Structure 1
Amino acid sequence: MARRLSPVGLEFVDTAAVRLVFAREIASDPASVYRALAEDVEGWPSWFKAVSLARPTNGGEGRLVKLTGGVRFDETILARDPEERYAYRVDETNVPGVRHLVEEWLLTPAGDGTRVRWTFAADGSAPFRIGLKLARPGLGRSFRDAVTRLDKRLSGTHT
């Protein structure tokens, strides 16, 4: 059953009750990483294995994302700063207990590559918050694997 979430802005990334932050340095340049995140939305399933479908909606102002296992997110893009940041808010989902959810991808030059930082900022019921904290190791692994696959895809070495 779809749930409409309370809208929040980009500032929620810094004030959320639960903030899960993951980072990894990769060889790909910030421009290529940004394009993969923000412009090639439909390509996400090829490198982020938790994502089974991703497509732009609302003339590119939003996204529909489905995860393996049946989770669905209808999102609004909050920030598109080329080569620096891509962020979105979940407006509707079938995840129980969630009230607010914003994800932010920050890209920082690191040597010849990019430091990719993903912040998963959320709030909801006590069981949701506890569950999200328990999911931290799995989300971290999923992020690391996804960014590694993205780097290989961008360098042309993916299999």
Structure 2
Amino acid sequence: MAQRLRPVGPEFVQTAPLRLAFTRDMAAAPDVVFRALAEDVAGWPEWFSAVSSARPTEGGREVRLRGGTRFEETVLLAEGPEVYAYRVDVTNAPGARAWVEEWRLAPAGTGTRVRMTFALDGTAAFRLVCRLVRPGAGRAFRDAVAALDRRLG
């Protein structure tokens, strides 16, 4: 059953009770990576294997993951080529109360250092599950960034 989450702003990335952050370098330049993240929402399933569908909406996105999790999101920051962040407004993930995902892009040689942060709040059970899936989420992130890099190369 879908539930509406607490509306939070971009500062939640710094204040969330639980933060999961992952970093990986890629060969593509920051502006190219930013365009893939922020402007080619429908292309996400082609490089992020956890995403089964994504489509832009007025001011946000609708995303479905493999396995059935759904998100209605609002874009909070689209400050290219440095940061792209969105808030989950509605999800069917049980126990979630507030959720922001932030992608930070920084030059790294001729490429980009990508840092993705999940900022989360929820029930004790939700937070525990998030901690337990951290290794898998990290692998999914690293694999996705590698696939995006191949796609952009």
User: TM-score if structure 1 supplies the norm length?
Assistant: 0.96
2:62 paired residue number: 64
What's the CA shift string for 1:55-79, capped at 9, x where partnerless? 0011xx1100000000000000000
Task: Report the counterpart of residue 152 of structure 1 in structure 2.
Answer: 150
The reply to whether residue 12 of structure 1 matches residue 38 of structure 2 is no
Partner of 2:136: 138
1:116-138 C-alpha deviation (Å, 9 max, x unpaired): 00000100000000000000000
SS at match of 1:42: helix
2: distance between equivalents of 1:153 and 1:67?
A: 20
CA distance in 1, matches of 2:151, 2:102: 21
Deviation at 1:82, TM superposition (A): 0.8
Q: Which residue of 1 aligns with 2:33?
A: 33
Find the residue that maps to 1:83 and give its secondary structure: coil
Structure 2: gaps spanning 5 or more residues? none
Overall identity of the aligned pairs, in %: 63
Q: What is the alpha-carbon distance in structure 2 between the residues aligned to residue 68 and residue 95 of structure 1?
A: 13
- Return 5+ residue gaps in structure 1 as ranges: none
CA RMSD of aligned residues (A): 0.4
Q: TM-score of the superposition, structure 2-length normalised?
A: 0.99
Q: Which amino acid aligns with 1:31?
A: D
Give the letter for the 2:23 counterpart. A
Measured in 2, the distance between the counterparts of 1:97 and 1:20 equals 17
Task: Using the TM superposition, give the Cα deviation of residue 4 of structure 1 relative to its aligned residue in structure 2, in angstroms.
Answer: 0.4
Q: Number of residues paired by the alignment? A: 153
Deviation of 1:80 after TM superposition, in Å, equals: 0.4
Structure 1 segment 36-55 matched on structure 2, within 5 A: 36-55=36-55
Cα distance in structure 2, aligned partners of 1:69 and 1:106: 27
Give the 3-state SS of the residue equivalent to 1:118 in structure 2: strand
Structure 1 stretches (4+) deviating beyond 4 angstroms? none
Structure 1 residue 51 displacement after superposition: 0.2
Q: Distance in 2 between matches of 1:100 and 1:5?
A: 5
Look up the equivalent residue of 1:17 and give its one-letter code: P
